[in-house]
Amino acid sequence: MGRLRFDKEKTTKAYESRYTIKNFPLVLKENAVLEIGMGKGKMLSALAFKNPHNNYYGIEKFATIVAHAVKKAESLQLSNINFIIDDVKDALLNIQGKADLIWLTFSDPWPKARHEKFRLTNKKFLSLYKNMIKTDGLIKLKTDNDDFFAYSKQSIDEFGCEIVEISDDFHNSPFAVDNEMTDYEQKFSQVGKKINYLAFRYKK
């Protein structure tokens, strides 16, 4: 992602929106689905529209980007979606309750070895997710980055989790039924890049 320009109007819109969580800790509602790094909210808003019985929460660090998600939620008149503007780790520490599903979508791969501590599938983050996912809940990952996918598989395995679905060509797999694309996913797919996918759960 390139450097974002500060946009006062979009930033204000994002922070003042009724969709943006302002009071913490946030207590998750029932049937909670959390997307970490939701970007402009393309996937999350589409899922919320299709599944009104679920409650959707998106975490995104940049308010300027969240403004796009707010616009989508408003246009669809959604009542089952909320956004958190914060760094991932800080946001997770301010959430209470258990999610049914967590999505990690096109996370920054942090390719340099010294940045391993920032990767969202390292053991530190896997420990955080474990405390906020239901016993039978799933964590799903989509990425275009092959090295990050390989790292994630190894990290998840070493943590003792069970990978229950996996594909290095997600869109041509049976797991893509009812898939909703993120903006990045759509962009990569249009140029022929295969998408990696896996789903895992914590062993009881």
- Tokens, residue 141: 């990952």
Q: How far apart are CA 42 and CA 173, in angstroms?
A: 21
60 is in an annotated binding site: yes
Q: Is 183 annotated as a binding residue?
A: yes
Is 140 one of the annotated binding-site residues? no
Sheet-wide strand order for 161-167: 81-85, 55-60, 32-36, 99-105, 133-143, 196-202, 161-167
For residue 165, say whether it is annotated as part of any ligand binding site: no
To the question of whether residue 169 is assigned a binding role by annotation, the answer is no
Residue 35 labeled ligand binder: yes
Does the annotation list 180 as a binding residue? no
CA distances to 2, 31, 54, 202 from 49, rounded to whole Å, are 30, 14, 10, 29
CA 58 to chain centre: 7
Pairing type for strands 81-85 and 32-36 reads unpaired
168 catalytic per annotation: no
Cβ proximity of 170 and 176 under 8 Å: yes
86 is in an annotated binding site: no
Marked catalytic residue, from 90, 108, 168, 169? 108
The annotated binding site is made up of 35, 60, 87, 108, 112, 144, 182-185
Annotated binding site for S-adenosyl-L-methionine: 35, 60, 87, 108
Task: Tell me the binding residues for substrate.
Answer: 112, 144, 182-185
Just list the catalytic residues.
Answer: 108
